[in-house]
């Protein structure tokens, strides 16, 4: 799997995980510290991962909106946090679709390159037997000359 495709797949999984952590933070209403800590860890990985600039810009907006949800939840303003979380979920879905497009493009590049590599080897099916027969004939001619020298 190509490096770009792998990065995009990993980023897509991490983005889904971050969105799940954000939703669980709202559901737990501050009683569980695991999900916010995981959200922070996952988003830190996503911000340090080299991805397409379009994703980085969109992710920065997503992250700002997600922090807004966390701030509202932390202040006890649950209904505004839930309302904003809906918008954040839509942003997450758009970013996921963007990553899916990058994965598809990387797969197409890989398939094209693999096809080019395979077509470069097409003649080997005929070339290997011809070269083998030619080598055998030349070896026999060489042996025949040596045998004639000993006669």
Query: What is the model's pTM?
Result: 0.60
13 close to 95: Cβ distance less than 8 angstroms: no
Quick one: pLDDT at residue 65?
92
Model pLDDT for residues 14-38, shown as the tens digit of each residue: 888 888 888 888 888 767 788 888 8
11 close to 55: Cβ distance less than 8 angstroms: yes
Per-residue pLDDT averaged across 56-79, rounded? 87
Q: What is the 3-state secondary structure (H, E, C) of 105-149?
A: HHHHHHHHHHHHHHHHCCCHHHHHHHHHHHHHHHHHHHHHHHHHH
CA dihedral 94, 100, 105, 111 (to 10 degrees): -170
């Amino acid at each position: 799997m190509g490096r770009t495709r792998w990065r995009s797949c990993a980023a897509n999984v991490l983005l889904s995980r971050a969105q799940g952590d954000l939703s669980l933070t709202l559901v737990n209403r501050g009683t569980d510290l695991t999900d916010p800590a995981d959200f922070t860890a996952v988003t830190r990985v996503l911000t340090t991962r080299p991805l397409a600039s379009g994703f980085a810009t969109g992710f920065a907006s997503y992250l700002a909106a997600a922090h807004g949800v966390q701030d509202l939840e932390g202040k006890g303003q649950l209904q505004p946090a839930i309302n904003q979380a809906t918008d954040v979920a839509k942003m997450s879905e758009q970013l996921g679709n963007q990553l899916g497009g990058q994965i598809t493009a990387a797969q197409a590049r890989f398939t094209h390159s693999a096809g080019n590599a395979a077509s470069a080897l097409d003649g080997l099916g005929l070339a290997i037997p011809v070269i083998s027969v030619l080598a055998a004939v030349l070896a026999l001619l060489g042996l025949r000359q040596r045998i004639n020298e000993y006669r």
